[in-house]
Amino acid sequence: MQTLHERFAAQVVRNPDATALTFSGQSLTYTQLDARANALAHRLIMEGVAPDTLVALLVNRGFEMVIGILGILKAGGAYVPLDPAYPADRLAFQLADCEASVLVTQAGMARPETSATAVEVGSDERSDAPGNHATTQNLAYVIYTSGSTGQPKGCLVEHRNVLPLFDNPAFAATERDVWTLFHSYAFDFSVWEIWGALLHGGRLVIPTDSERRAADAFHALLRREGVTVLNQSPTAFAQLMAADENAPKLDSLRTIILAAEKLEVASLKSWFARYGGQAPALWNLYGITETTVFVSYRRILTADTDSTVSPIGVAFPGWNMHVVNGELWVGGLGVTRGYLKRPELTEERFVCYQGQRVYKSGDLVSVLPNSELDYIGRSDLQVKLRGHRIELGEIEAALVQFPGVRGSAVALHDEKLVGYTLGQKPETAALTTYLRELLPSYMVPTAFVHLESFPMTVNGKLDRRALPAPPSSPSPSSREQREEGSPLEKILALWQRVMGTSEVLKGDDVFFDIGGHSLLLPMVRDGIKELFDVELSLVELFEYPSAKALATRVAPPDNRGANVSSQNSQIRDRATRQREAIARLRRH
């Protein structure tokens, strides 16, 4: 097996005059790119760079990104990408943590304080290939990721981890393909984009920052450059789909790869309606930095958009997946060395399973009837609200099923679930009613915000922390809650006191869905006795689970009597756990 730069060198011999890079109206051929990378490599070797030497790379978007990466590899070193768009404190931490003795940069770059020797990417005359002793077992790069603690950690990736990615026959790239380097070079999605093009003799188009940030400008770039292989996060692609609706079709595309986030397949309905299910082929890929970019793949078909699952398919050749107590563990060729200077964390996350070294992903999955995997979400994206553990992805999957919603997100703001939508602005009451048919009440957002686009991180993923807070909620305005001292209002106030919450509750709320449990029922029963002089059994409290039902039971309107069970039959039928609780109470 060759190293990455050795396989690139073979393409230089095969396609010397073919265009390798395009950026802002300029191009480099394979020969020109190779020469500039060789010149940088010679200077790095003079600075002592050798196999497994970590070399920091801090450059702006442009040719220098790829020249820097290739030059470091050709010197035998491993690149540590520092994206200048990241906060200065994070860059300073990464540079200090990796202890790089050399920093590859360019003229005019603002740099963190460091003792590392700065080497600028230039155009030195020496262009012959340098000799180095790097093998496939040496490091290719160290990319920093942030886990649930937010503490960046460097992942150590060898050449032999990366190369098998490009041997998957499902993605047989050729020299005729045109790729884009859309993602930050400090995000490992870029590894797939760079080498997917350059190891196969294709052309890599580097969008400018403005083209990356504006979906209509990026759409125009795709058409102008005749891009054939597009790689996007679902968040970025949702915004590209919006731009595509009012623009000429992207006829050059043959392959679209969606990755880096959970894919809600229902969000692709408008795309399939416009392009059909044959070309371009649309794939959902699942990946992890610690197991080298991608682990599994699944082609998405038109019929999939009627499903609520997020299928991630089968493992790449050479990778394998194990489901252990609902968590995905990954083994095979892509499993990396571990974390830089974090032996305890490496030992915790990289373990032996069935005689093989595997990585515990922290991702939750379930096995589908066809033996493929359904991606549920990050275990650290669960939130706890009113005593319930809630998977935000489950709510997002329900939101995107609503007609006209093209993208969705959910976040917790001030102990309230907030739903965010893209596409046609839904009517709040209709959306709430729809969600209540799919989800328990405690999972239905209490506020909704419609956005023109989602905020994204430097890596092109949804930036949950940047989702705006909802507008200040007015006081409850429905007639049933305006009526001073109404039975319903008294029931809701009683529930608030019993559960110790100040959150505004609604008549359709079900006690057991908003944090109530059987241990609180005696307090509810006593409160009802005090407020209404009505004695209820604990079993009756289960039989009238919503606030409306309970209010009508204790103070029935003259025109309806106490016949409220039909209003809540759907809720009670769905609440299996309530019936089980009644049975337990009767047994005891």
We report the CATH number of the domain holding residue 145 as 3.40.50.980
Contacts with 52 (C-beta within 8 Å, 6 or more apart), sequence order: 77, 78, 138, 139
Q: Which of 45-54, 368-377, 574-583 has the highest mean pLDDT?
A: 45-54
Domain CATH for 399: 3.30.300.30
Q: Is the pLDDT of residue 147 over 80?
A: no
Q: Tens digits of per-residue pLDDT, 485-521?
A: 788 988 988 888 777 666 678 888 888 777 676 667 8
Q: Is the pLDDT of residue 4 over 80?
A: yes
Place of tokens 């319930």: 388
Q: Tens digits of per-residue pLDDT, 523-533?
A: 788 889 888 88
Closest to 454 measured CA to CA, from 396, 408, 399: 408
Query: What distances in angstroms separate CA 365 from CA 310, 373, 377, 449, 543, one per listed residue?
Result: 10, 6, 7, 29, 35
Domain ends where: 129, 147, 169? 169
For position 387, what pLDDT does the model report?
55
Residues in the chain: 588
Q: Is the pLDDT of residue 473 over 70?
A: no
Q: Is the pLDDT of residue 89 over 50?
A: yes
Containing 554, the helix (H) or strand (E) segment is helix 547-554
8 A C-beta contact, residue 240 and residue 215: yes
Q: Is residue 161 located within the same domain as residue 39?
A: yes
| Number of C-beta neighbours around residue 257 at 10 A | 22
Q: Tens digits of per-residue pLDDT, 181-222?
A: 999 999 999 999 999 999 999 999 999 999 998 999 999 999
Q: Is residue 97 located within the same domain as residue 52?
A: yes
Q: Is residue 38 located within the same domain as residue 163?
A: yes
Token representation of residue 271: 């795309």
Taking residues 395-400, what's their average pLDDT? 88
Number of domains within the chain: 3
For position 518, what pLDDT does the model report?
67
8 A C-beta contact, residue 300 and residue 274: no
Closest to 489 measured CA to CA, from 507, 472, 468, 464: 507
Q: Is residue 426 located within the same domain as residue 566?
A: no
| 102-106, 309-313, 343-347, 547-551: range with lowest mean pLDDT | 547-551
For position 573, what pLDDT does the model report?
40
Taking residues 341-369, what's their average pLDDT? 95
Range of the domain at 396: 386-466
For position 20, what pLDDT does the model report?
98
Cα separation, 199 vs 1, whole angstroms: 13
Token representation of residue 106: 């360019």
| Number of C-beta neighbours around residue 46 at 10 A | 11
Q: Is the pLDDT of residue 156 over 70?
A: yes
Calculate the dihedral angle through the C-alpha atoms of 522, 524, 526, 530, rounding to the nearest 10 degrees. 180
If you average pLDDT over every residue of the chain, what do you get? Answer: 87
Domain CATH for 487: 1.10.1200.10
Q: Is residue 488 part of a domain?
A: yes
Q: Tens digits of per-residue pLDDT, 106-133?
A: 998 988 889 999 999 986 677 888 988 8
Higher-pLDDT residue of 455 and 140 is 140
Token representation of residue 537: 């059994």
Higher-pLDDT residue of 330 and 111 is 330
Q: Is residue 350 part of a domain?
A: no
Give 330's strand partners: 321, 359
Q: Is the pLDDT of residue 477 over 50?
A: no
For position 389, what pLDDT does the model report?
64
For position 300, what pLDDT does the model report?
97
For position 18, what pLDDT does the model report?
98
Cis amide bond preceding 280, omega within 30: yes
Higher-pLDDT residue of 144 and 496 is 144
Domain ends where: 169, 202, 237? 169
10 Å CB burial of residue 353 (0-12, 13-18, 19+) is middle
| Number of C-beta neighbours around residue 236 at 10 A | 26
Q: Is residue 80 located within the same domain as residue 38?
A: yes
Cα separation, 241 vs 305, whole angstroms: 15
Q: Is residue 7 located within the same domain as residue 156?
A: yes
Query: In angstroms, how far is CA 436 from the centroid of its own chain?
Result: 26
Closest to 461 measured CA to CA, from 282, 236, 149, 266: 236
Q: Is residue 22 located within the same domain as residue 153?
A: yes
Q: How confident is the model at residue 270 (pLDDT cuts 50, 70, 90)?
A: very high
Higher-pLDDT residue of 133 and 556 is 133
8 A C-beta contact, residue 427 and residue 383: no
Domain ends where: 149, 169, 189? 169
Q: Is residue 500 located within the same domain as residue 460?
A: no
Q: Is the pLDDT of residue 380 over 70?
A: no
8 A C-beta contact, residue 310 and residue 374: yes
Q: Is residue 151 located within the same domain as residue 3?
A: yes
Contacts with 328 (C-beta within 8 Å, 6 or more apart), sequence order: 321, 322, 361, 363, 364, 365, 373
For position 196, what pLDDT does the model report?
97
8 A C-beta contact, residue 169 and residue 112: no
Cα separation, 409 vs 518, whole angstroms: 32
Residue-wise DSSP of 59-125: --SSHHHHHHHHHHHHTT-EEEE--TTS-HHHHHHHHHHHT-SEEEE-TT------SSEEEE----S
For position 564, what pLDDT does the model report?
33
